[in-house]
Amino acid sequence: SANTPHWRPEVRFTPRRNWMNDPNGLVRHRGEYHLFFQHNPSGIEHANMSWGHAVSTDLVNWQHLPVALEPDELGEIFSGSAVVDEHDSSGLFGGGSGIVACYTSAGRTQTQSIAHSSDGGRTWTKYPGNPVIDNPGIADFRDPKVIRHEPAGKWVLLLAAGDRVLFYESTDLLNWTKASEFGAEHGAHGGVWECPDLFELPVDGDESRSRWVLVVSINPGGPAGGSATQYFVGDFDGTEFVNENDPDEVRWVDRGADFYACQSWFGVPPEDGRRLWVGWMSNWAYAQHVPTSPWRGAMTAPREVGLTESSSGTRLVQRPVRELESARGPARHWRGMVPEHATAPRFRGTALDIVAEFEIVDGRPEFGFEVLAGDEHRTLIGYDAESRRLFVDRTRSGSAEVAPEFPARHETPLSVDGSRVRLRILLDHCGVEVFAEDGAAVLTELVLADEGDDRGRVFCSGGRVFLESLRVHELRP
């Protein structure tokens, strides 16, 4: 099919060519962020699964590297993670240190395997004793995420097993013993569980009130249809995860259609202290029909994850990493009243970082931004003060045909502070990431606008808003 350079993002990572899905093996090592990813090196379909590879020092500019792991006699290389083995607990580094990757070998059955690198991830050796975790008779048994549990002085591996997460432990990354299970009676179960992650975070920056967050992707059964990511908040003692909320309660990381299989970086230095992650910006409901070329699949912008105390309990918040601000061009600024059926302010562009603060003045208006507009198409991003919902409407976003369910409006409840509404929008050619109220609500959506549809404006209906401030930056790394 014809090449589509107008859909190639500026700051979001895409492979040069061919298929990509989940982020894998996210690790920071010797000053580099590694991004491995589910990749077909020889086609634009999901096949020949391998780990593609890129590195960055700033999470904005990525250097493409050769494929790191390719299929072998145990199967294709499915999703997994990586850690830095600083003190050679594995004995794989002759007393030195290196990176240990743990992935699913997807062959006749799904098993977990190890590979190691002592040259900063450039070359890899598969462990001869693979698989390190054999299949216990479970069809869906994959996506190992390894973490270090310092208080217990051990490595912990969690993986997705259909309707639950299984936890294993090890002192050497090679010999694993099953420790516990979580989830059969918790959260959403409209589909198979995939790609778990687990980390501890302070609440509102207060280390003395930290909690553990267990993240699990699920496909299908997401709130916008198809795949999505849920999370649980609670405690983890190195052996068992305990959910502190009602088991029936479902919490979504992102209510948009296109945030899946996110994984956080291992090894971000303690003096930095951030929990950083990235997700696959697509949805299994239509991922294989996305008409970008010569690549298919994009990552979201890297995000910083936090916890905050709210009226509905301890909640996850996300915002784009601050490094992205280096990709901002000069801003245009506005401030002023936005009357009904507003036609200004107007701007143009398909790669923009928009920061806005609105004040509702009267009525219960629906307001926000129209972007990627041309004569026939447009995408709406806004807040409906009547239903108190944030939304992205891509029902008329372009003439590209992806799938019947693609043209849709997706929403999330958003409680705002008084009458103020704060929005941050990353528009990057092939879609939008919308963060409201400091990342308390997030909608990530692929949008495939027609080439040349680049008009933007503020809209408001059913009342009036005052635009306290609006900054529109061009994105150009």
Q: How far is the CB of 272 from ligand FRU (least distance, A)?
A: 28
Question: Does residue number 447 form part of the binding site for ligand FRU (CB under 6 A)?
Answer: no
Q: How far is the CB of 24 from ligand FRU (least distance, A)?
A: 8
Q: How far is the CB of 402 from ligand FRU (least distance, A)?
A: 18
The answer to whether 85 is a known catalytic residue is no
CB 173, CB 164: distance < 8 Å: no
Q: Of the candidates 38, 40, 243, 264, which one interacts with ligand FRU according to CB under 6 A?
A: 38
Cα 101 to the center of its chain, rounded Å: 20
**Hunting for tokens 């976003």 — which residue is that?**
397
Residues in the chain: 477
Q: Of the candidates 78, 127, 232, 391, which one interacts with ligand FRU according to CB under 6 A?
A: 78
Q: Which is nearer to ligand FRU, 118 or 300 (CB)?
A: 300
CB 216, CB 193: distance < 8 Å: yes
| Residue 3 burial (C-beta neighbours within 10 Å; 0-12, 13-18, 19+) | exposed
Q: Which is nearer to ligand FRU, 105 or 314 (CB)?
A: 105
Q: How far is the CB of 187 from ligand FRU (least distance, A)?
A: 17
Q: Give the bridge partners for 33, in sequence order.
A: 28, 56
Please spell the DSSP secondary structure of 290-328, one letter per residue. Answer: ---SSEE--BPPPEEEEEEEETTEEEEEEEE-GGGGGGE
| Residue 217 burial (C-beta neighbours within 10 Å; 0-12, 13-18, 19+) | buried
Q: Which is nearer to ligand FRU, 157 or 381 (CB)?
A: 157
Q: Of the candidates 143, 258, 384, 428, which one interacts with ligand FRU according to CB under 6 A?
A: 143
Q: Of the candidates 85, 169, 194, 474, which one interacts with ligand FRU according to CB under 6 A?
A: 194
Q: Give the bridge partners for 201, in sequence order.
A: 211
Question: Does residue number 261 form part of the binding site for ligand FRU (CB under 6 A)?
Answer: yes
Q: How far is the CB of 192 from ligand FRU (least distance, A)?
A: 8
Q: Of the candidates 12, 39, 142, 315, which one interacts with ligand FRU according to CB under 6 A?
A: 142
Question: Does residue number 195 form part of the binding site for ligand FRU (CB under 6 A)?
Answer: yes
Q: Of the candidates 7, 9, 22, 281, which one interacts with ligand FRU according to CB under 6 A?
A: 22
Q: Which residues 91-110 are close enough to bind ligand FRU by CB under 6 A?
A: 104
Determine phi and psi for 178, rounding to 5 degrees.
Answer: -70, 135
Q: How far is the CB of 373 from ligand FRU (least distance, A)?
A: 32
N-to-C CA span, the chain: 28
Three-state secondary-structure class, residue 448 = coil
Number of residues that bind ligand FRU (CB under 6 A): 12
**Hunting for tokens 């995000």 — which residue is that?**
303
Question: Does residue number 79 form part of the binding site for ligand FRU (CB under 6 A)?
Answer: yes
Q: Which is nearer to ligand FRU, 264 or 314 (CB)?
A: 264
| Residue 285 burial (C-beta neighbours within 10 Å; 0-12, 13-18, 19+) | buried
Residues engaged in binding ligand FRU (CB under 6 A)? 21-22, 38, 49, 78-79, 104, 142-143, 194-195, 261
Catalytic residue positions, numbered = 22
